Amino acid sequence: MKDASLNSSSYLIGYARVSKGDEQSNATQRRALDGAGCRRVFEETASGGRWDRPNLQEMIGQLREGDVVVVWKLDRLSRSLKDLLHIMERIQLAGAGFRSLTEAIDTTTAAGRMMMQMVGSFAEFERAMIRERTSAGLAQARAEGRIGGRRRKLGDKQCREIAESVVSGRKSGAEMARLYGVSEPTVSRIVAAYRQGVEVGATCTR
């Protein structure tokens, strides 16, 4: 892919967006984009958290190598870091560059490309940390005998007492449910597992 450095043949394409319900208009953005030399500006009224914005999709679909997408502020392109990086990747794959006038980000320069790479690296680091915390939480839940994130209501010994009392006829299911503070369906599952020779502890949740 050729470098999308700005030169006399670069085609600057502006993108302006305001959210639905906002009192502001695209006028300020449009003036800034026109002043930057944009030959065409795609304007949109939509939430910055949505990726499937029609004018944004149309703009990306029309990008050619050497084009440069220009926005007034970075959040005009997207308020979501994940979507922002995805949009930036689409722009890069088209062989185009990107400029944000307010933040002075310009991927047509080496410094600008390095900055976006750093942002992407931090985002990937954050995703990796979230995955690690999730895995650690699930491992801790399994170690504590929780299933599906819920703490067990009864221990194995209590489950066996419930099952043996009901099966022997000493107590009814309703009585054991009231005694141990669980629901009758839970008692029914414990008893059914006991009769089938299955470990009853796995059924001991509310």
Alpha-carbon distance of 68 to 60, in angstroms, equals: 11
Q: Residue 151 carries which DSSP code?
A: P
19 part of the active site: yes
Mapped onto helix, strand or coil, the DSSP state of residue 92 is helix
> To 10 degrees, what angle do helices 110-143 and 81-93 make?
130
* Edge-to-edge strand ranges of the sheet holding 97-100: 40-45, 12-18, 68-71, 97-100, 105-106
* Active-site pick, 5, 8, 19, 172: 19
Catalytic center residues: 19
